Structure 1
Amino acid sequence: MFDLIIVGGGIAGLAFALKGCEAGKKVLIIEKNEGPNEASIRNFGMVLPLGMPKGSALNRAMKSKEVWKHYAKKAKFWANECGMLMVAHHDDEMAAMEEFHTDISLPPYQTRLLNAEQAKVLSPGVNPKGLRGALFSQTDVLINPQQALTQLTQYLYGFENSQLQYNTLVSHFESNDKGVKVVTNKGVFEGRQVVCCPGHQFASLFDLEADQAPTVCKLQMVRTLKQTQNWAFGPMMSTGLSMLHYPAFDQVKSLQAVRNRVEQDHPELIQYGIHLLAAQHQTGEITLGDSHEYGNTPSPFINQRINQLILEYAQKVMTLPSWELKEQWIGIYSKAKTDHVYWEQPQDNLFLITGLGGTGMSTSFAIAEEWFKEHQH
């Protein structure tokens, strides 16, 4: 009998497992693959308070950022407190950034407005042509998700009270007066409590009401080869398009002018939910993206038109020594219809945590901490 069973070895599952192990609980992680292989490693690695609306989402991101920094030292993975540079190449974008900074940002986002010259000094990767200025957020941290999740998993192995069960498929759960039986292809595991973090594959385990269930989102991303001569990109980068995507900017009234212009001049960017993000990990490669297409059965194929749009827009706002691509991929995540997490209790002692959308890296540690405060005594 385990004190806590976690289903899913992505970042949400690891956050719960780490918290449980450190609390002295006997913890089991059940993962269907040989290790994390879904949305948790198919992202930029951005821990991004800047994108979160004030309230629980922002508070969780600020808390999780500190936990990431803590585990970077404990589990020995790379973490860069480089911040986020949001560049403006249009007057309407600069006006929206100025409104956000003046009326919304302080506190707690810790932003600074930069003119074009200051932005160019901060980032060699910004295209100076047509640059109006930028909004710089000092709160954001970049990690390499593939490295970080590998190291966090290895760190878990160091706890005597942890057990990891890979290549194991869960079929269903059976609650009883002692806890929950987790029925799998490798046998039955019993836990006093079970937290299920299945990402976008929640429908294979739970029959949720259609109007309440999270939606599924497909995204596309690309990565360049290592840049030449150890060229450093600078902070993470976003653009005016990102203000249309992140709810932190929902109250910015002047943002409507940006939306109107993009809808008229670049309707495909709106159609495919494209907003440009860029980040350079310690490997020297540049990760670029991304797009957002919603639907419960996303296509497994890469749409090359989307990647073309991402790269064309990137080349307008960025300058790189090399644009040669190393790889491209799709990611799939679930997104809650309200709030930024779907947190339910389908059975006694069984909890479902999913629907984190693009906020999983930014909020999972804080969500796990809240759950323990509420359900562990």
Structure 2
Amino acid sequence: MKYDLIVIGSGIVGLGHAWAAALQGLKVAVFETNSRAEGASIRNFGMIWPVGQPAGAARELALRNRELWLQLGKAAGFAVEECGSLFLAHHPDELAVLQEFIDTEASHGLNAELCLPHIVKQMMPAVNTNNLQGGMFSPGELRVTPQTAISMATAYLADTLNVEFYFNSTVVKVASGEILTSANKVWHASKIVIASGAYYESLFPAAYSQECLHICKLQMLLTAPQPIGWKLGPHMASGPSLRHYPAFENCPSMTELRNRISKNMPEFDRFGIHIMASQNENGELILGDSHEYNDDIEPFDKSEINNLIIREIQKILNIPDFSISRTWNGLYAKLPKNMFFVREIRPDVLIVNGFGGNGMSLALAAAETIMQNWNSATTCEINYEPSF
């Protein structure tokens, strides 16, 4: 069996490439080691998050990615909610960063607006108004339930666009024009995309080492379903989250914000904690998260991190049911100072990786761009690496 494109990995990066290729009329196969996608694509908030990307190429890609999620949700039949996002400011330096962001080109394309405390309360009734300085609402963010979206997108690609999926099929070798699975079967394709996230090391260990990727571990929590009718509203991000996103990096007051957190909340820096919340389609709240890198990563989750997240959430939100039904962690690969990377590891074999925590926010548009460039380029060398 020969395909126009073989994709290794069935997460959002792999599905994005399969979708883009299938829409071009190509014959596509996707290979996945597990019985379903089990990596970062299903272990996240379900936030499609243009507000976190810096103005310029990254923001434009994120806004296109937003359009593609709406298209994919409509085609595949899963909900894509245009919920927007609300950054809360409970300290003057947080409000200053938000004001500086709004007043400059840093907010280009977002239609974001600064909100007084009473407007914040109207938009998110659960917010604790003690010391609330205000907030920033951005209407462009979307919400999906990751497991549902990935599952239904997979079914749509298979049933409607005739993409062939081979689950429980571990690829052990990749060469130009062919792959070998652990079942000792050879499959042929004109082009191959390796989109296996943090796990492509086993295929090309030397190339993996040269990339100097950082592996990040995140801890997250899920509450029990909230009472019927209770709504959080937009995605919520607290003031400390501002220091996590490069979109806010050049705001003058960011230095003051960072210094305050470093002095008063050193555990936030030690564990890379920033506070976010989103409500899924079942009424449960997803809470998080933390960021531990490389040698700091342990196989066991830290109760200290979970307790810190819960403590901070309780300070800023009044949630009816705070009982925790589930905790988990996720791993992703990140290339510092780049949105993602594309490498031609063999002729007509691309590695697409390094999205960090931005896979949901960038991958569909990145895949569209890569497939368009690949098919029209006079050379197979594709570089799409806008720097932060």
TM-score after normalising by structure 1: 0.96
Q: Distance in 2 between matches of 1:122 and 1:373?
A: 40
Q: Which runs of 4+ in 1 moved over 4 A?
A: none
Report the Cα offset of residue 6 of structure 1.
Answer: 0.2
Q: Distance in 1 between matches of 2:104 and 2:19?
A: 38
Q: Distance in 1 between matches of 2:146 and 2:126?
A: 22
What SS class does the counterpart of residue 155 from structure 1 fall into?
helix
Report the Cα offset of residue 209 of structure 1.
Answer: 6.0
> Residue 92 of structure 1 aligns with which residue?
93
Q: Distance in 1 between matches of 2:296 and 2:173?
A: 22
**Is 1:28 aligned with 2:26?**
no
Q: Distance in 2 between matches of 1:5 and 1:308?
A: 43
What SS class does the counterpart of residue 24 from structure 1 fall into?
coil
Closer, same or farther: CA 31–296 of 1 in aligned 2, 3 Å:
farther
Report the Cα offset of residue 92 of structure 1.
Answer: 1.1
Letter in 1 for 2:261: V
What SS class does the counterpart of residue 250 from structure 2 fall into?
coil
Report the Cα offset of residue 194 of structure 1.
Answer: 0.1
Question: How many pairs were matched up?
Answer: 373
> Residue 337 of structure 1 aligns with which residue?
336
Structure 1 unpaired stretches of 5+: none
> Residue 300 of structure 2 aligns with which residue?
301
Identical counterparts, % of pairs? 35
Report the Cα offset of residue 331 of structure 1.
Answer: 0.3
For 1:1-377, list aligned pairs within 5 A: 1-159=2-160, 161-175=162-176, 180-186=177-183, 187-206=185-204, 207-208=206-207, 210=209, 212-295=211-294, 298-377=297-376
Report the Cα offset of residue 128 of structure 1.
Answer: 1.2
Q: Distance in 2 between matches of 1:111 and 1:105?
A: 11
Q: Does the aligned pair in 1 maintain the 2:55–2:107 contact within 8 Å?
A: no
Report the Cα offset of residue 161 of structure 1.
Answer: 3.7
Structure 2 unpaired stretches of 5+: 377-388
* Deviation by residue 1:128-162 (Cα, 9 ceiling, x = unmatched): 11111001111111111110001000101114642
Closer, same or farther: CA 296–166 of 1 in aligned 2, 3 Å:
farther
* Deviation by residue 1:166-193 (Cα, 9 ceiling, x = unmatched): 0011111122xxxx21111131111100
Report the Cα offset of residue 297 of structure 1.
Answer: 8.1
What SS class does the counterpart of residue 125 from structure 2 fall into?
coil
Letter in 2 for 1:201: Y
* Deviation by residue 1:280-313 (Cα, 9 ceiling, x = unmatched): 0121000000000010683221111000111111
TM-score after normalising by structure 2: 0.94
Q: Distance in 2 between matches of 1:372 and 1:297?
A: 36
Q: Distance in 2 between matches of 1:21 and 1:108?
A: 30
What SS class does the counterpart of residue 44 from structure 2 fall into?
coil
Q: Does the aligned pair in 2 maintain the 1:60–1:367 contact within 8 Å?
A: yes
Q: Does the aligned pair in 2 maintain the 1:25–1:161 contact within 8 Å?
A: no
Q: Distance in 1 between matches of 2:337 and 2:118?
A: 40
What SS class does the counterpart of residue 228 from structure 1 fall into?
coil
